[in-house]
Structure 1
Amino acid sequence: MSLKDWIQESNNIVFFGGAGVSTESNIPDFRSDNGLYKKKYPYPAEIMLSHSFYVSHPKEFFDFYFNQMIYSDAKPNKAHLALSKLEQMGKLKAIVTQNIDGLHQMAGSKNVYELHGSVLRNTCTHCQT
């Protein structure tokens, strides 16, 4: 049985995804040869994304965050659009994603669970705006 057959026969699909879904939208992943974890920074990328680094090095954290994590020109790609279509057809019940880019929602998906939050809902830790 092919993937296409499984999709056609199913009405209870949950999609689990991560950075690879958004690479076609020109958002780099983390672990590939061109990923964020392979690039040279003053500190390892996984450290620079940590809360403790944010607290101890806020300038470096925000420089990294705004230069490496925000892609305001990114648009949903064929994968995002196909998943949205499956949801509209009643086949896809949810998307569980590690992505923080909001592209699933931009493509029209409604039932999206973001494991790592979203860059679209940042708030100030001091004033909450």
Structure 2
Amino acid sequence: MERDSAEVLADWIGNADTVVFFGGAGTSTESGIPDFRSVGGLYESGQDEFPYPPEEMLSRDFFYRKPEIFYKFYRERMVYREAQPNDMHRLLADLERQGKLNAVITQNIDGLHQKAGSRRVLEVHGSVLSNTCTECGAKYGLGTVMNSDGVPACKLCGGAIKPDVVLYGEMLDSNVLEASVRAIEEADLMLVGGTSLTVQPAASLVGMFTGGPLALLNRTPTPYDSRADLLITESMGAVAQRVRRLLGSGR
């Protein structure tokens, strides 16, 4: 009898020495956070209320030109403080605690991996949880941004506070990219989930994996489907929940 995808994935995880995960927005959609490009996603939903395209409002140039509009969009559409981790976040935290998983590499900025218990999270696009004064470099938490009106100002120098997220027109953190490459090179199983694998250069990290089987979990086709040894188009949360039960960590 043919085994289902969750059984195959659980076996692969059980037999692996080192697992690495690379994920995108689809990892958090089952936690109530919309993705970017699908129907009802961030880019579509932001077009009626705001006078600029979401891609423009999320650019470095726009932040400095129109910071008030940037922050209105950012607070309303980019931050989900009440969101809770789903079974995929919990599975990855389980695997790290068991010494199986060496890193979560994520394009997400929501902090849900850490909320689930993951400690080694490489955030290639930054995080809403961290913010920096553009003048003196003082650091602030998310509460400072969300509990202020308009453009949050630094308490030390009065400068504008900017979220530590990678905006369009900004470079990715080279240290995070280097750590991601090392984690991928060390792994003998790679899980990729919830990403269209179209955003570069982050998506090119998947092409660097040569250590063993590649499992790709995504609802829609990606440019890397032909490279996957296991392709899963079911709900990530449902698959992760079954894998957790099969591994004995999801009771």
TM-score, scaled relative to structure 1: 0.94
Q: Which residue of 1 aligns with 2:68?
A: 59
Q: How many residues align?
A: 129
Larger relative strand fraction: 2
Q: Which residue of 2 aligns with 1:38?
A: 44
**Which structure's relative contact order is higher, taking Cα pairs within 8 Å and 6+ residues apart?**
1
Counterpart of 2:123, as a letter, is E
Rounded to whole Å, the distance in 1 between the matches of 2:60 and 2:71 is 12
Counterpart of 2:37, as a letter, is R
Rounded to whole Å, the distance in 2 between the matches of 1:124 and 1:90 is 37
Task: Establish whether residue 14 from structure 1 lines up as the match of residue 23 from structure 2.
Answer: no
Task: Establish whether residue 104 from structure 1 lines up as the match of residue 110 from structure 2.
Answer: no
Q: Which portions of structure 1, spanning 4 or more consecutive aligned residues, are displaced by more than 2 angstroms? A: 126-129
Rounded to whole Å, the distance in 1 between the matches of 2:62 and 2:23 is 27
Rounded to whole Å, the distance in 1 between the matches of 2:16 and 2:132 is 39
Structure 1 segment 47-126 matched on structure 2, within 5 A: 47-126=56-135
Question: What secondary structure is seen at the aligned counterpart in 1 of 2:129?
Answer: helix
Counterpart of 2:135, as a letter, is H
User: Aligned-pair distance for 1:116?
Assistant: 0.8
Question: What secondary structure is seen at the aligned counterpart in 2 of 1:43?
Answer: coil
Rounded to whole Å, the distance in 1 between the matches of 2:82 and 2:110 is 11
Runs of 5+ in structure 1 lacking a partner?
A: none
Rounded to whole Å, the distance in 2 between the matches of 1:114 and 1:79 is 17
Counterpart of 1:87, as a letter, is E
1:93-122 CA-partner distances (Å, limit 9, x unpaired) = 100001101110111101100001110001
Rounded to whole Å, the distance in 2 between the matches of 1:107 and 1:43 is 35
Rounded to whole Å, the distance in 2 between the matches of 1:125 and 1:26 is 31
Question: What secondary structure is seen at the aligned counterpart in 2 of 1:27?
Answer: coil
Rounded to whole Å, the distance in 1 between the matches of 2:118 and 2:61 is 33
User: Aligned-pair distance for 1:126?
Assistant: 3.2
Question: What secondary structure is seen at the aligned counterpart in 2 of 1:16?
Answer: strand
The match for 2:10 among 4, 13, 38 is 4
